[in-house]
Structure 1
């Protein structure tokens, strides 16, 4: 069944719209549809106090459009002007047959791709913020006083991996002519495990020719 409104630019048309909207939030019920947008486009301005139902409906549609198009003008008409038709015909939905088109149109492939890229960028940014760094001070001990400490340090610094940065170092006497290498590293927490660094790299072949053990002296989040 078709519901018709006369010219919505005059009082007679607004009166018929106001009567039709009595007890309703939107044209077809409680949810906004494309029919509301079409009629909204034909009404030049918010109906006055003489048309309370139409005024309430106009404000509801305007609010929904503002949510869907944030930052954009809400009262924009299709094609830049009000629909020129002298008569509006609205077809109410019959039964459960919901063949309404998407209110604001289907997304194009380009729009979907752009939306996906924005979401991916947000996730990457969030991940980068969550991925902290730590400063670690380690004691690297040689086998004995005959170990070449220069070669030991070269072996230690030869370990390379993403998220690992070698810093300052010094030799510290431990007694009986033996010195240990005290060295600072900076790591990206999500990329480097200090325990794995020590077990799999620093005290494993071939560096275990010089390195007897490694102790963590200090571990601080940056």
Structure 2
């Protein structure tokens, strides 16, 4: 090792190492070596990030290389408080750029409801379905009865959903809960608005 560092438990030794690491990533050369491990072993605690930023950066990097990242979890949590505040501000900026609200994404869905038998009152069933309390779901005003076979008709209903609030499975499961009347529920079409 070309350069030696002593007294790394005191500010003077840390100041010397901090100056040395100003434009270097490692103690010797351009990759991790035994010199880094030797200097690392001289530390009794995690260096102060505010006072010795270069030493702290190097220490965290070497600890990761040595597989000792777990020793940093509790000790580094209190060290860089300023960076945590910056992260919160950056995350907030990502959510709310220029004070504009994110547009609400909506989809128009046509749901196909098939009854068990021809005698099922589809008008009554449509009223029950529209009465389901699902937040973010708006049913269309009308519905359509389409012949299938043997006198059985299926019910087509249109609705608009807010994509972030409503899953199609929530709607189909709610309609299928009328199991005495409903044989199956399918999504006939779906379009983004």
**TM tier, shorter chain?**
0.3 to 0.5
What TM-score do the two structures reach when normalised by structure 1?
0.41
What TM-score do the two structures reach when normalised by structure 2?
0.47
